[in-house]
């Protein structure tokens, strides 16, 4: 069965707005951060707020729902609204399909993040975040047992399997962290800009061995927002619309975290197969590469499963493509990997940072991080189990 | 013994996990120190965690079947911090968490810890067998190294 892609290049991103990403935004609610990003995106698109007839807001803990954001911003009549699950491409695809199918013409898409009491000490002391604690436990009366392999613990468990199967050193994971940190230093919005060395990585506190603190994304307060519309309308709005060439989710049936068949067949593989079939371009045509890095093992997975490196060879591949001067990967000396610093160093925006930087690069607005004449961006979003996704964005 | 435990009591005894009509047999088995894994009476396939129908043939004729509990460690990690539990002291050393591929179940894995073994000996490929410890006054399935 050939996969169809009638939406190819038909939906455009015409506005981007972001707050800073910080480890503590102070006394600012996720609703306010979200509103700030939305207003900036609407202004960036140069449209009137009454032109928005679709609102899509990612279902993040503490974030305002689409109906709440519509009320906050005093929007006009809305004919499509939804709050899709994280990570970023679910909401992107929802916005695209709503426009393409005629449910609406112009979508405000936003993602707002707030550090939760269970992953930040200062957040745990914020009385206005205490209600989030109940969301984590899912209404259960006691915390889960340490042996529960939940999604985040599962990445560590499979990282151990990766090390076992391919006999790689911890430096392989460290190189992912170093790449993100060096890039974040060139991104004013990033939360973590202090330089990182391999020695510091190897000495960092272990959380779940074999992964340490620097293998896990950094909880932040912040928000991203986008305006999407038809490519036809986008051409009238802006000189430089960025279009979504292809996008997909991917999952295998057997996706319970500890029952996943193997590292050789999971959600990322489904994403890669679907993207390839739906796209005219592939990795040799890419100018900027965005592998998700909620955990460093996920990045290794994308590098290999996209086809940049053979299974178990992502570490060697990063080494071969390392730019010593910049301190990060430059594929063939030209293509950076998460030039914004990714979730590990810009902040845990669950892929929306990757999406925003892709748009920023394709518009030529990335300042000192700008890839010369960037035309095509490849995003591998999410991990192995039930949130793998991918997207290819192009400058029209 | 577990037959006499009401659904409400079962939920009360395992407050840290969401038990459903589909998984209640599995957790009742814990009270009898039996590891029950769902097997389809029609097609013979095993699955875990417990699901409402057989993922292979969609039969609802599922039998929670006691397994011996021998197997091989497939995934292993070591928690330096984590959720609290009786007998787990992260200050004393890393707490191992493993996913064990159970013998005779066509690759079904069951996740728990390995007891009474130095952590450096808890490795992928280790042969293990099921045992039971007590947590919050109820049996809790764990693994220990299988000799021979």
Question: Using CB atoms, which residue from B49, B74, B94 is nearest to A209?
Answer: B94
Q: Which one-letter DSSP state was computed for residue A216? A: B
Q: Which tens digit of pLDDT belongs to each residue from A42-93?
A: 999 999 999 999 999 999 989 999 999 999 999 999 999 999 999 999 999 9
Q: Kindly provide the ipTM of the predicted complex, given to two decimals.
A: 0.95
Contact B55/A at CB under 8 A: yes
A157/B75 touch (CB, cutoff 8 Å), yes or no: yes
* Residue A25 pLDDT: 81
8 A C-beta contact, residue A56 and residue A346: no
Q: Does B144 contact chain A (CB < 8 Å)? A: no
Question: What string of DSSP letters covers A252-296?
Answer: -S---TTT--BTTBSHHHHHHHHHHHH-S--GGG-SEEEE--SBH
Give dist(CA B20, CA B52) in Å, integer.
Answer: 10
**Residues in chain A within 8 Å Cβ distance of B108:** 259
Question: Which sign does the torsion angle of CA A241, A246, A252, A258 carry?
Answer: negative
Contact (Cβ atoms closer than 8 angstroms) between residue A314 and residue A175: no
Query: Model pTM?
Result: 0.97
Find, in chain B, the residue whose alpha carbon is nearest to that of A164: B124
* Nearest to A246, CA basis, from A213, A219, A285, A212: A285
- The whole-number pLDDT of residue A89 equals 98
B118-128 residue pLDDT tens = 999 999 999 99
Three-class SS state of A13: strand
Please give the structure tokens belonging to residue B19.
Answer: 């038990």
Q: Could you please report the per-residue DSSP string of B52-76?
A: SS-TTT--S-EEEEE----EEEEEE
Cβ contact, residue pair A157, B88, below 8 Å: no
Which domains are present in chain A? 11-113 (3.40.47.10)
For chain B, which residues score pLDDT lower than 50?
none
pLDDT band for position A1 (cuts 50, 70, 90): low
Closest CA to A393 of A307, A295, A290: A290
Name the CATH code of domain B68-148 (choices 1.10.3470, 2.40.160, 2.40.50, 3.30.200). 2.40.50
pLDDT surpassing 80 at residue A119: no
Q: What is the pLDDT of residue A121?
A: 82
- Contact, A135 vs A84, CB < 8 A? no
Helix H or strand E encompassing A300: helix A296-306
- Res A137: pLDDT: 66
Cα dihedral A349→A353→A355→A357 (10° resolution): 180
What is the band of A133 on the pLDDT scale with cuts at 50, 70, 90? confident
Banded model confidence at residue A128, pLDDT cuts 50, 70, 90 = confident
How high is the pLDDT of residue A117?
A: 83
Mean pLDDT over each residue of chain A, to the nearest integer: 95
Residue A142 with chain B: CB contacts under 8 Å: 15-16
Q: Would you call A206 and B16 a contact, using CB atoms and an 8 Å cutoff?
A: no
pLDDT in tens, A265-311: 999 999 999 999 999 999 999 999 999 999 999 999 999 999 999 99
**Bond preceding residue A190 cis, omega within 30 of 0:** no
Least confident stretch, A111-125, A144-158, A167-181, A288-302:
A111-125
Query: Are B83 and A148 an interchain contact pair (Cβ–Cβ within 8 Å)?
Result: yes
Domain ranges across chain B: 1-66, 68-148
pLDDT at A129: 85
Tell me whether residues A258 and B78 touch, CB distance under 8 A.
no
B43 reaches A (C-beta below 8 A): no
What distance in Å separates the CA atoms of residue A227 and residue A53, rounded to the nearest whole number? 11
Residue A134 has pLDDT above 80, yes or no: no
Q: How far is A144 from chain B (nearest CA, A)?
A: 5
Q: Is A155 helix (H, G, I), strand (E, B) or coil?
A: helix
| pLDDT tens by residue, A335-353 | 999 999 999 999 999 999 9
How many Å lie between the alpha carbon of B147 and the closest alpha carbon of chain A?
22
The CA distance from A295 to the nearest CA of chain B, in Å, is 15
Interface of B with A in 58-97 (CB under 8 A): 74-85, 88, 94-95, 97
Phi-psi region of A338 (alpha: psi -120 to 50; beta: other; left: phi over 0): left
| B135 lies within 8 A of chain A by CB | yes
Instruction: Calculate how close chain B gets to A261, using CA atoms only, in Å.
Output: 9
The contacts of residue B114 (CB under 8 Å, 6+ apart) are B73, B96, B98, B122, B126, B128, B142, B143, B144, B145
Q: Tally C-beta pairs within 8 A across A and B.
A: 94
- Whole-number Å distance between alpha carbons of A191 and B77: 29
Mutate to test the interface with A, among B83, B94, B128, B131 (most CBs of A within 10 A): B83
CA A396 to chain centre: 22
- The reported pLDDT for the residue numbered A118 is 79
Nearest CB to A259; choose among B77, B109, B123? B109
The pLDDT value recorded for residue A56 is 98
């Amino acid at each position: 069965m050939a996969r169809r892609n009638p939406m190819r290049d038909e939906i455009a991103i015409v506005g981007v707005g972001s707050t800073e990403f910080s480890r503590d935004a102070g006394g600012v609610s996720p609703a306010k951060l979200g509103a700030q990003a939305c207003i900036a995106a609407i202004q960036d698109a140069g449209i009137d707020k009454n032109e928005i007839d679709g609102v899509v807001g990612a279902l993040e803990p503490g974030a305002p729902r689409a109906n709440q954001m519509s009320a906050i911003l005093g929007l006009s009549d809305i004919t499509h609204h939804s709050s899709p699950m994280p990570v970023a491409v679910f909401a992107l695809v929802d916005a695209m399909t709503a426009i393409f199918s005629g449910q609406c013409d112009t979508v405000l898409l936003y993602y707002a993040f707030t550090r939760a009491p269970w992953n930040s000490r200062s957040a745990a002391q914020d009385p206005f975040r205490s209600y989030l604690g109940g969301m984590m436990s899912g209404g259960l009366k006691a915390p889960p047992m340490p042996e529960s392999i939940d999604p985040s613990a599962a990445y560590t468990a499979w990282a151990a399997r990766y090390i076992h199967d391919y006999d790689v050193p911890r430096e392989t994971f460290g190189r992912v962290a170093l790449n993100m940190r060096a890039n974040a230093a060139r991104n004013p919005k990033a939360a973590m800009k202090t330089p990182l060395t391999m020695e510091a990585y190897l000495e960092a506190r272990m959380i779940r061995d074999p992964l340490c603190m620097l293998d896990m994304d950094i909880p932040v307060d912040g928000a991203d927002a986008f305006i999407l519309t038809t490519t036809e309308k986008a051409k009238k709005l802006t000189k430089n619309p960025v279009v979504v060439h292809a996008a997909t989710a991917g999952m295998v049936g057997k996706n319970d975290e500890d029952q996943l068949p193997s590292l050789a067949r999971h959600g990322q593989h489904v994403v890669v197969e679907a993207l390839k079939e739906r796209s005219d371009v592939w990795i040799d045509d890419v100018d900027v590469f965005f592998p998700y890095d909620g955990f460093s093992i996920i990045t290794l997975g994308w590098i290999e499963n996209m086809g940049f490196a053979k299974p178990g060879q992502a570490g060697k591949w990063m080494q071969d493509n390392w730019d010593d001067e910049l301190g990060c990967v430059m594929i063939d000396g030209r293509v950076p990997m998460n030039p914004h610093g990714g979730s590990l160093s810009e902040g845990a925006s669950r892929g929306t940072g990757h999406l925003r930087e892709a748009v920023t690069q394709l518009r030529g607005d990335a300042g000192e991080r700008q890839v010369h004449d960037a035309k095509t961006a490849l995003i591998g979003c999410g991990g192995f189990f039930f949130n793998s996704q991918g997207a290819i964005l192009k400058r029209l | 013994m577990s037959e006499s435990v009401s659904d409400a009591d079962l939920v009360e005894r395992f407050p840290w996990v969401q038990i459903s009509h589909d998984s209640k047999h599995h957790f009742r088995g814990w009270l009898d120190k039996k590891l029950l894994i769902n097997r389809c009476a029609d097609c013979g396939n095993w699955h875990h965690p417990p699901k409402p129908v057989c993922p292979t043939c969609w039969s609802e004729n599922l039998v929670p079947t006691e397994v011996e509990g021998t197997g091989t460690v497939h995934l292993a990690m070591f928690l330096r911090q984590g959720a609290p539990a009786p007998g787990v002291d992260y200050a004393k050393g890393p707490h191992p968490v493993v996913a064990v591929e159970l013998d005779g179940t066509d690759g079904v894995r069951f996740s728990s810890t390995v007891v009474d073994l130095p952590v450096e000996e808890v490795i992928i490929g280790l042969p293990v067998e099921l045992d039971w410890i007590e947590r919050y006054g109820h049996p809790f399935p764990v693994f220990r190294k299988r000799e021979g």
